[in-house]
A and B are shown apart, each in its own frame.
Chain A
Amino acid sequence: MSPQDLTPPSRLAARFATCQAEQRAALVTYVMAGDPDRASSQALLAELPAAGADIIELGMPFSDPMADGEAIQRAGQRALGDGQTLAGTLDMVREFRRQDTATPLVLMGYLNPIQCYGETRFLGDAAAAGVDGLIVVDLPPEHGAAFTARARDLGLARIPLVAPTTPAERLPALLAQGDGFVYRIAYNGITGRAGSAPRGDLGTALAQLREHTPLPLAVGFGIRDGDAAAAVAAVADAVVVGSALVERLETQGQAAALALVRELAERTHR
């Protein structure tokens, strides 16, 4: 099957359909592109689907990631220290797609490197490389209409972030620019806050959110182990794990990181 047979964002839709058919939540794994170096990061990327990652979120390193906690900050610093660039991140996606045309891959990062690369050029290159969706943390719908329209023309999903603070009045504007899935932030805070778990009312919050959108709902931030992943998988369509995985990679290496992915994948089965 060539990449053209499953053009974005249908790769995302297909994956969610599969998970739904198997009656389980999707596991979304976040890793930082180029952490700790390009070659090992590329190797990890290739191993993630077999370990159980249903969707890959690939971080685009930025010097000043204001929504990220220390684990992802450090990962970004390591990648940048090794010379990772946005062009290099797109190269990694291209390389990944030579082996894998089925696993959806979403880029996550901040606006400034994208603007520096050139928004139009970035979107074109990302679509051509085989990216399925984009999460741009600091591009709210108020400023993102043109970007979203261009992304849509290219078949790139613009995945909206919804926070616990987001009032219901805001949802229509937010979701109108959303495709692929909705990323519900589990708590008010930055990524990877130690010891924090989603609040007990997550199920209610997701039920309310479902009234506003037919898109699958992913939940992330602070999901650090199998128990937390299982709890979220019971109510959400997807579980996003980032900091815990990035930290595992930092402290114990690639094999241990992949072991964590396998453990999380097991626990996201309902």
Chain B
Amino acid sequence: MTDYPDRNGFFGGSDGYGGRYVAETLMPLIGEIEAAYDDARQDPDFNAELAALQCDYVGRATPLYLAERLSAHAGGARIYLKREDLNHTGAHKINNALGQALLARRMGRTRLIAETGAGMHGVAVATVAARLGMTCTIYMGAKDIQRQQPNVQRMRLLGARIVAVENGTATLKDAMNEALRAWVASVDDTFYVIGTVAGPAPYPRMVRDFQSVIGREARAQIVEKTGRLPHSLIACVGGGSNAMGLFHAFLDDPVALIGVEAGGEGIESGRHAASLNGGSPGVLHGNRTYLLQNADGQIQDAHSISAGLDYPGIGPEHAWLHDSGRARYVSVTDSEALAAVALCCRLEGILPALESAHALAEATRVAAELPPEASVVVCLSGRGDKDMATIIEHLPAQEATP
């Protein structure tokens, strides 16, 4: 299962998901990126520089931490947290930003652009742009700018220009539209650093590869700590980069893979961001995948309390893992995620991002059904400092005392 995608960028054959559905202006450019990436990934110097920066700059390897009190609370399997929140910039996003920025520099590009939802990818790109001496523009939905102010200030401090996107729903999908438009107009010097495992080929594969360090480390760590593979892996899924990064090294193992979509106010409410549980296949942002759309093929608004999951699509590899049954996708609501934030704070002294809290909420349910000798690995994809305003606004009403 690790051989995908095929050379046209499809997961699961040409009737599957992925591909490269973009305007002609971008086609040659994206082909150039693919060739440069395939060359770079086989270059020992490129990989050595990436590994050195991952170690000394990002702080890898991240710990695999046994959450004892959270496990006891769930009352079943041991819950291990893959601490991507301890990375430099506070989330897994920098794994990919660093890889793509090094590729951009190798291709002679001097300017990075990116879309961001929660701001974590934007911060990661602004950070590596500063580190590599490149200019940087971040496209962010106006609505997300409102709810993620700390990250906006941080990006500005890092020297990035922020473009507020007012069109459409003024969230992540619109930021991505706008970044694609800006890219078309500046193809000569600019590299578009897509933040998730979506977009035209080769992005889903390239982002997965840069994120797969999460799963490679976790696999070695869990085997070392427990002497065997975990029962399940659990990760939140918006576009799905932290989940794909965790899952990839385990695809051929007898390990359950569980992706957690943002259920918003509940799938039945229609206000959610669960493309697999509440959407259907279509084409958006350069790839064929599951989308939230109406009967006429118009993309519908996603809703999630977490800006990072507020996207009406999902990476094509997840769409394929879903259809093939290799991975299972569930959803967790806004209020369940908020409760998980409080629970993790009180029991473990760790403030998780609202995105990651979706995975934690599901993990306690999964662990409760398993015996104590089993283990589950949760990707704690980011820290929650950025979400403080949202958490404070919503928590009192949630009665989330453990």
A175-186 interface code vs B (CB 8 A; 1 in, 0 out) = 000000000010
Using known A-B contacts A69-B181, A188-B187, determine if residue A138 contacts B25 with beta carbons closer than 8 Å: no
Query: Which residues of the partner chain A approach B295 to less than 8 Å between Cβ atoms?
Result: 116
| Binding-face segment, B33-41, B144-152, B282-290, B341-349 | B282-290
A112 to chain B, nearest CB (A): 5
B13 to chain A, nearest CB (A): 13
**CB interface residues, A 176-212, toward B, < 8 Å:** 185, 188-190, 193
Query: Which residues of the partner chain B approach A163 to less than 8 Å between Cβ atoms?
Result: 23-25, 27-28
B23: which of A66, A69, A142 is its contact (CB, 8 Å)?
Answer: A66
- In the bound complex, what is the Cα–Cα distance between A101 and B309 (angstroms)? 50
Q: Is B20 an interface residue (CB 8 A)?
A: yes
B287 to chain A, nearest CB (A): 10
Query: Which residues of the partner chain A approach B28 to less than 8 Å between Cβ atoms?
Result: 163, 165-167, 170
Query: Which residues of the partner chain B approach A85 to less than 8 Å between Cβ atoms?
Result: 296
- In the bound complex, what is the Cα–Cα distance between A116 and B293 (angstroms)? 9
A160's nearest neighbour on chain B, judged by CB, is B24
Q: Is the CB of A174 within 8 A of B24?
A: yes
Q: Is the CB of A64 within 8 A of B177?
A: yes
Q: Is A172 an interface residue (CB 8 A)?
A: no
B173's nearest neighbour on chain A, judged by CB, is A64
A18 to chain B, nearest CB (A): 28
Q: Is A48 an interface residue (CB 8 A)?
A: no
**CB interface residues, A 205-247, toward B, < 8 Å:** none
Q: Is the CB of A137 within 8 A of B23?
A: yes
Q: Is B52 an interface residue (CB 8 A)?
A: no
Using known A-B contacts A139-B21, A161-B24, determine if residue A116 contacts B181 with beta carbons closer than 8 Å: no
A139 to chain B, nearest CB (A): 7
**CB interface residues, A 64-85, toward B, < 8 Å:** 64-70, 73, 80, 85
Q: Is B220 an interface residue (CB 8 A)?
A: no
**CB interface residues, B 270-327, toward A, < 8 Å:** 282-286, 291, 293, 295-300
Q: Is A40 an interface residue (CB 8 A)?
A: no
Q: Is A154 an interface residue (CB 8 A)?
A: no
Q: Is the CB of A86 within 8 A of B20?
A: no
A76 to chain B, nearest CB (A): 9
Q: Is the CB of A188 within 8 A of B293?
A: no
Query: Which residues of the partner chain B approach A80 to less than 8 Å between Cβ atoms?
Result: 298
Q: Is B168 an interface residue (CB 8 A)?
A: yes
Q: Is A115 an interface residue (CB 8 A)?
A: yes
- In the bound complex, what is the Cα–Cα distance between A167 and B187 (angstroms)? 14
Query: Which residues of the partner chain A approach B187 to less than 8 Å between Cβ atoms?
Result: 165, 188
Q: Is the CB of A116 within 8 A of B22?
A: no
- In the bound complex, what is the Cα–Cα distance between A79 and B173 (angstroms)? 20
Q: Is the CB of B298 within 8 A of A138?
A: no
Q: Is the CB of B297 within 8 A of A112?
A: yes
Q: Is the CB of A140 within 8 A of B285?
A: no
B8's nearest neighbour on chain A, judged by CB, is A142
Query: Which residues of the partner chain B approach A111 to less than 8 Å between Cβ atoms?
Result: 21, 283
- In the bound complex, what is the Cα–Cα distance between A12 and B21 (angstroms)? 27
Q: Is the CB of B21 within 8 A of A162?
A: no
Using known A-B contacts A66-B180, A66-B285, A115-B297, determine if residue A170 contacts B27 with beta carbons closer than 8 Å: yes
Using known A-B contacts A138-B21, A139-B21, A165-B25, determine if residue A188 contacts B184 with beta carbons closer than 8 Å: yes
Q: Is the CB of A112 within 8 A of B167?
A: no
Q: Is B185 an interface residue (CB 8 A)?
A: yes
- In the bound complex, what is the Cα–Cα distance between A198 and B199 (angstroms)? 29
**CB interface residues, B 5-34, toward A, < 8 Å:** 8, 19-29
Using known A-B contacts A80-B298, A140-B20, determine if residue A188 contacts B185 with beta carbons closer than 8 Å: yes
**CB interface residues, A 129-156, toward B, < 8 Å:** 137-140, 142-143
Using known A-B contacts A86-B296, A111-B21, A166-B28, determine if residue A67 contacts B181 with beta carbons closer than 8 Å: yes
B174's nearest neighbour on chain A, judged by CB, is A64
A115: which of B167, B168, B282, B286 is its contact (CB, 8 Å)?
Answer: B282
B21: which of A70, A116, A143, A167 is its contact (CB, 8 Å)?
Answer: A143
Query: Which residues of the partner chain A approach B29 to less than 8 Å between Cβ atoms?
Result: 165
B297: which of A117, A142, A165, A167 is its contact (CB, 8 Å)?
Answer: A117
Q: Is the CB of A189 within 8 A of B24?
A: no
Q: Is A62 an interface residue (CB 8 A)?
A: yes
Q: Is the CB of B184 within 8 A of A73?
A: no
Q: Is the CB of B185 within 8 A of A73?
A: no
- In the bound complex, what is the Cα–Cα distance between A128 and B137 (angstroms)? 47
Q: Is the CB of A115 within 8 A of B173?
A: no
Q: Is A120 an interface residue (CB 8 A)?
A: no
Q: Is the CB of B284 within 8 A of A112?
A: yes
A73's nearest neighbour on chain B, judged by CB, is B167
Q: Is the CB of B19 within 8 A of A113?
A: no
A67: which of B25, B186, B293 is its contact (CB, 8 Å)?
Answer: B25
Using known A-B contacts A116-B297, A193-B185, determine if residue A166 contacts B24 with beta carbons closer than 8 Å: yes
Using known A-B contacts A112-B283, A190-B185, determine if residue A185 contacts B296 with beta carbons closer than 8 Å: no
B298 to chain A, nearest CB (A): 4
B-to-A contact residues, CB < 8 Å: 8, 19-29, 167-168, 173-174, 177, 180-181, 184-188, 282-286, 291, 293, 295-300
User: Would you list 6 pairs from A and B whose C-beta atoms are within 8 A, ordered by A residue?
Assistant: A115-B297, A138-B283, A139-B21, A142-B8, A166-B24, A188-B185
A-to-B contact residues, CB < 8 Å: 62-70, 73, 80, 85-87, 110-117, 137-140, 142-143, 160-167, 170, 174, 185, 188-190, 193
